[in-house]
Structure 1
Amino acid sequence: MRPRATGTGTVRRRPRSLSAVAVLASAGLLLAGCTAAGKAGEEGSGSGGDAKDRSVKVGLVYSRTGLLADYGKQYRDGFMAGLDYATKGTGKVAGHKIEVTEQDDAGDPGKAVSAAKNLIGKGHKVLAGTTDSGVALQMAPLAAQNKVLYISGPAATDAVTGINDYTFRSGRQSYQDILTAGAMLGGAKGKKVTVLAQDSTFGQANVAAVKAVLGGRGAKVGSVLAPPSATDLTPFARQVKAGAPDLVFVAWAGSTAPALWTALDQQGVPAASKVVTGLAGTASYPVFGDAGAKVSFLAHYFPGASGGNAVEKAMLDAVGKAGGTPDLFTPDGFTAAQMVVRAVEKGGATDTAAMVKALEDWTFDGVKGEVRVRAEDHALLQPMFVARLDGKGADAKPRLVTTEPMDVVAPPAKPSAG
């Protein structure tokens, strides 16, 4: 196929992809967003070409307010720490000053698109951020239309991977979550898996995702779905136990989560089957009560998960010194900053095609260990973690059980949609 022109270079066009499996985050409490409004630095100056000292304008669009504001702050803190780390404290790379403009999307795709258009109109060649999957799916086409580099953040939807040549991601995707759960089975073929969820869009999407991923690898996947209004969850816990599954995959959201975990524990489900759910942020740890010590958690990240490698230590130190608290999505911001610096260092300040090429097939040391940007679809291959909770209530702390290598939990490659 004929390549498309972009800026001063070209980006090769890859074959169109098949539609992606719609997968939501597999945590009992959802993993999602980021935010901030305001502006750091001055508007870029300089004219034409890619001369030294030309400023590179980076738009950070995330959830500073709204339901995902806590996640947004984690992302933003990580990004600033990562920018300082990757530029060795100078804020510059290859002679170019990195200027960051922050915009709040409040978790609203319309606000995000409006902010992104405004930033692009002011000469921003790089956009980053996005915790909410719905926002990411609106931002990605905009990046392709305007030929700007877009690095999505914690948004977990698999549909972002391979969506177009200009879109990358700095976090994990749902497929990696589910493969981590599957790894706990020691092989899915012939195993019985029950998805316990609410009978809602979120719950049904998780059932579909587990069937697609683990069912596709030979597991027999069924489900137990409770009405979202249900408060007595004991009957559903009993139903799960009666089915005698090898693995119970719990995807639950909302205020009834403590009641759910109490019911599962009282009915002896964790003693009868391996129970797996996603480890969300620190604030979620008390929700599990006595069941927390008996459940296996698939984990994207928690402080200390990486064993204190040099990059993780740098992030923890920098965020702490700035008054922040490292958490679930802090690495996503840090990684995004590393990718921005790489794109500018190797690709220049204005040539988006060169930035894209610089990131494709790039392997680097990240907070979670060695990670790789897959060239075919821009998936971010990364290790994932399995954890347990020690203690309960406010004293609950995650403990690393195993690390799943990035190739073991890599989603299948898919060609870019162009």
Structure 2
Amino acid sequence: MRSAISVLFAALMMITGPLLAAPVKIALIDPLTGPMASTGLPVLEHLRFDARRLNANGGFNGDSIEIIGLDNKINPQESLVQLQKAIDEGARYIVQGNGSAVGSALIAAVDKYNRRNPGKEVLYLNHGAVEPSFTNDRCSFWHFRFEAHSDMKMKALTDWIAKRDDIKKIYLINQDYSFGHALAEAARTMLKEKRPDIEIVGTDFHPLSKVKDFTPYVSKIKASGADAIITGNWGQDISLLVKAAAEFGLNVPFLTYYGGSPGVVSQLGEQGVDRIYEIYGYYGDTDDDAIGERQKQMYKDKKWDYFLFYPRITVMLEMLQKAADKAGSNDPVAVARALEGLSLETSYGTVTMRGEDHQLQTPLFVSVLKDNMPYGAEGTDFNFAKLDRIEPEAVTMPATGCRMRRPQ
């Protein structure tokens, strides 16, 4: 005779159907409050937007995707606290990308956790921490980068600069941490090789997310006689820098990694047209109407144009879904193995996750801010128009020093 509990369970199954599997939890660890929240909140919204879209199409192997947002205040130590919280909440996929100092701490912590917890491993999915060493001498089986790293971008940017006879004097201004120093060193080395006639007329490093008024820096740049500026600044540091330059009357091109950061377009508007350049894996004036309409939908009721700046989030989740389907499993180890060498067709070209170092191979684009764009950014008519396309094979770089240890 069946117990009363068994009878009750059978009755519930007849009403509700089989119990649903636990969702695949993906935890974002990025700044969600404070001055750099403008870089983290759009990522969180983009993750949720694409999770809903993928869930409507079966999620990962039929399991739904759940996005968890955790605020690290762009602090490495706080990020480790949030990593443990994510694990405690059942997340086995960790997403981060704002700040290579944070990325460095997460690579070490995830490696350590996975060594101590076989069968409970987590993957670190890097959407934008571009310190080159992460896929070189610090490469890890548990880390995948879905963005071209700093040296790849500088290789493409300096190839483009080499063709510009009007650029003779360059000023370097960057944030004072590993990424900013790596970018400046790469710029010096590559420009010397490709355009030895170009003079570096100044170099500045400033505290990350601490400067409220960039006018003193802008005054130095103007006095140097620079006819172009190279900067890897992101978040409020790029917004405030270019705004100060416009107000000061510094009318020279900004050659940026993150000129499309939220707030730049809406704050500068006409003042940024033909002055703000960006080297990136995408550009805003897409000729793909489906992508353009999705972009409009994403910022319809928001402060930022999320799709302009974070299309790599879509690439990351779609590659993750494809890898899970290929593996027939949502287990992070199986998904990691399936990600190696995986390619994805996007509206901007084919991207491939290189297996030897887990570095995405992707086309890059040089673009410039223009007016009257069909799919404007941040509720404006401004967006970035393509100037040049660089194929993956032109910017690929060897995984120097990578000796990846794979699980048995």
TM-score normalised over the length of structure 2: 0.71
Contact 1:63 1:130 survives alignment (8 Å): no
- SS in structure 2 of the partner of residue 60 of structure 1: strand
Q: How does 1:275-294 map to 2 (within 5 A)?
A: 276-278=255-257, 279-285=259-265, 292-294=272-274
| Aligned: 1:338 with 2:318 | yes
Contact 1:370 1:382 survives alignment (8 Å): yes
Q: Please, which runs of 5 or more residues in structure 1 have no aligned partner? A: 1-51
Q: 1:292 to 1:165 in 2, by over 3 A?
A: same
* Residue identity (%): 18
Contact 1:363 1:372 survives alignment (8 Å): yes
Q: Which moved more, 1:226-235 or 1:253-262?
A: 226-235
**Offset at 1:199?**
9.6
Contact 1:61 1:127 survives alignment (8 Å): yes
Contact 2:152 2:397 survives alignment (8 Å): no
Alpha-carbon distance in structure 1 between the residues aligned to 2:362 and 2:78: 31
Alpha-carbon distance in structure 1 between the residues aligned to 2:132 and 2:180: 17
Structure with more relative contact order (C-alpha pairs < 8 Å, separation 6 or more): 1
Alpha-carbon distance in structure 1 between the residues aligned to 2:279 and 2:35: 21
**Offset at 1:128?**
1.8
Contact 2:125 2:143 survives alignment (8 Å): yes
| Aligned: 1:185 with 2:161 | yes
Q: 1:130 to 1:336 in 2, by over 3 A?
A: same
**Offset at 1:239?**
2.8
Alpha-carbon distance in structure 2 between the residues aligned to 1:208 and 1:64: 31
| Aligned: 1:137 with 2:137 | no
Alpha-carbon distance in structure 2 between the residues aligned to 1:391 and 1:217: 32
**Offset at 1:413?**
2.3
- SS in structure 2 of the partner of residue 96 of structure 1: coil
Equivalent residue letter for 1:387: S
Larger Rg: 2
Contact 2:156 2:395 survives alignment (8 Å): no
**Offset at 1:118?**
3.0
Q: How does 1:123-272 map to 2 (within 5 A)?
A: 123-145=90-112, 146=114, 147-162=121-136, 163-186=139-162, 194-197=170-173, 205-215=182-192, 217=194, 219=196, 222-225=200-203, 231=216, 233=218, 236-241=221-226, 248-250=229-231, 253=237, 255=240, 257-261=242-246, 265=250, 270=252
The CA RMSD measured in Å over matched residues stands at 3.9
Q: How does 1:242-391 map to 2 (within 5 A)?
A: 248-250=229-231, 253=237, 255=240, 257-261=242-246, 265=250, 270=252, 276-278=255-257, 279-285=259-265, 292-295=272-275, 297-300=277-280, 304-308=284-288, 310=290, 312-313=291-292, 315-316=294-295, 319-320=298-299, 325-349=305-329, 351-366=331-346, 368-391=348-371
**Offset at 1:232?**
7.9
**Offset at 1:317?**
5.7
Q: 1:203 to 1:166 in 2, by over 3 A?
A: closer
**Offset at 1:151?**
0.6
CA offsets 1:9-62 (integer angstroms, 9 cap, x no match): xxxxxxxxxxxxxxxxxxxxxxxxxxxxxxxxxxxxxxxxxxx94643332323
**Offset at 1:214?**
3.8
- SS in structure 1 of the partner of residue 27 of structure 2: strand
**Offset at 1:397?**
1.3
Instruction: Report the structure, 1 or 2, having the larger helix content.
Output: 2
Equivalent residue letter for 1:336: M
Contact 2:343 2:350 survives alignment (8 Å): yes
Equivalent residue letter for 1:75: V
Q: 1:317 to 1:390 in 2, by over 3 A?
A: closer
Contact 1:81 1:315 survives alignment (8 Å): no
Q: 1:343 to 1:101 in 2, by over 3 A?
A: farther
Q: How does 1:42-191 map to 2 (within 5 A)?
A: 53=21, 55-87=23-55, 89-90=56-57, 92-145=59-112, 146=114, 147-162=121-136, 163-186=139-162
Q: Please, which runs of 5 or more residues in structure 2 have no aligned partner? A: 1-19, 115-120, 207-213, 373-378
Contact 1:148 1:166 survives alignment (8 Å): yes
- SS in structure 2 of the partner of residue 156 of structure 1: coil
Q: 1:119 to 1:192 in 2, by over 3 A?
A: same
Contact 1:180 1:404 survives alignment (8 Å): no
- SS in structure 2 of the partner of residue 92 of structure 1: coil
Alpha-carbon distance in structure 2 between the residues aligned to 1:193 and 1:94: 54
- SS in structure 1 of the partner of residue 73 of structure 2: coil
Equivalent residue letter for 2:103: A
CA offsets 1:229-249 (integer angstroms, 9 cap, x no match): 7638456425335xxx7x653
